[in-house]
Structure 1
């Protein structure tokens, strides 16, 4: 199955973006009359037929539409501090998209080793993973934001901070979740005591991801996977 991402679907005739058009015609060698599948990143899954096999503006006609494809009645948000080696964060984005995540935010913390991210590049990683795993919803990827500013934007009773300090913490897999959950993952050196206290003051609860000391991107993926399992058991 050839699957393409087309975020601007407003009619029964669709023109693929130039990059997708080139891939369809030049790489996959699709031609007029061939059938393909489309996703819009908002839950729409479509079947279409190629009408003009132009490698810059491949035109298609929709023949079948399915809304809310594989809709999930819960929301998973992972807020993670980007690592110095951006490849590790790209790996996390790819795998989290495959597993299932609604939103990914990047935190600027006191011990951060990376202070900016290339959103355009990270969006491409997410889109590729979305297509590979046949998902119709594209996770939102948010630009980096200072930790103290980010925690002002969340619902405290739905937000959890995973840290390594010797505080009383609840295992993530033991939580009784709402229909939305956000987990904060710190940098390689962990959140500072001041950041942890600031989170507590906002009503954010501490959690542990297990006994192992995990890399930042591994911790973020474990949190994503654990939340998915909890929600799937809840709605089963």
Structure 2
């Protein structure tokens, strides 16, 4: 199944014209023509079955012939992950987390962060590409980068499970032992230099449970994927 992403399509759309970049890909690269069909998603849970009406590489026009809903994830997972020093490692995390299944992502700037500026537009494209490749009708929400303190203080009291994964030799529980199926979960993953002691203390004060992801010391992006997969697996 060929899947395309278009944020402008709505439940009431009868036809839609793709922008020049996507139109060229459809007509010139994929060599699709009038009468060919494919699916479109707006990232909000629906697949739209479309048929090409006008195969113009500058503005491909399609008509919507039917639509269907995709079941949402059986869980809500919010990962707050510090940007990595090497940008491609964070992009790898975004791609794989989208493929596995995640609801929301927030880049958090910590005391030990070496990267404090993110390329949100590029990150959005990575997520969109991963969603199309893995046939996802729901795109995870990507938030603006925020400081660790502001993130902690902006989190309102809720019924969600909140965890902080860190490497300090203190009392911690294994992530799999605290996960609860179908429960909204937020997990903090720190930078290469780990969270500072002050950040860990602040998180604990605000109800975050200190957790370990195993005996191995993991890179930031690896830890994030382990956490993502653990939540997905616990809800199977």
What's the TM-score, normalizing by structure 2? 0.94
Q: 1:154 to 1:197 in 2, by over 3 A?
A: same
Matches of 2:16 and 2:173, distance apart in 1? 49
Does residue 210 of structure 1 match 2:214?
yes
1:24 alignment counterpart: 26
* C-alpha separation in 2, matches of 1:18 and 1:79: 34
What is residue 37 of structure 1 aligned with on the other side? 39
168, 172, 175: which one pairs with 1:169?
A: 172
**Residues 138-161 of structure 1: CA deviation (Å, up to 9, x unaligned):** 111112100000012225652110
**Whole-angstrom distance in 2 between the partners of 1:126 and 1:151:** 25
Using the TM superposition, give the Cα deviation of residue 119 of structure 1 relative to its aligned residue in structure 2, in angstroms.
Answer: 0.4
| Deviation of 1:176 (Å) | 4.1
Structure 2 residue corresponding to 1:229, chosen from 225, 229, 233:
233
Deviation at 1:56, TM superposition (A): 2.0
Find the aligned partners of 2:183 and 2:85 in 1 and give their Cα distance: 33
CA distance in 2, matches of 1:19, 1:131: 16
Partner SS, residue 188 of structure 2: strand
Return 5+ residue gaps in structure 1 as ranges: none
For the aligned residues, what is the CA RMSD?
A: 1.2
CA distance in 1, matches of 2:23, 2:217: 45
Q: Please list every run of 5 or more consecutive structure 2 residues that lacks an aligned counterpart in the other structure.
A: none
Given that residues 73 and 179 in structure 1 are in contact (C-alpha distance below 8 angstroms), is that contact kept between their aligned partners in structure 2? no
Q: Report runs of 4+ in structure 1 exceeding 4 Å deviation.
A: none
- Please, what TM-score do these two structures have when normalized by structure 1? 0.94
> Distance in 2 between the 1:230 and 1:153 partners?
27
1:6 is matched with 6
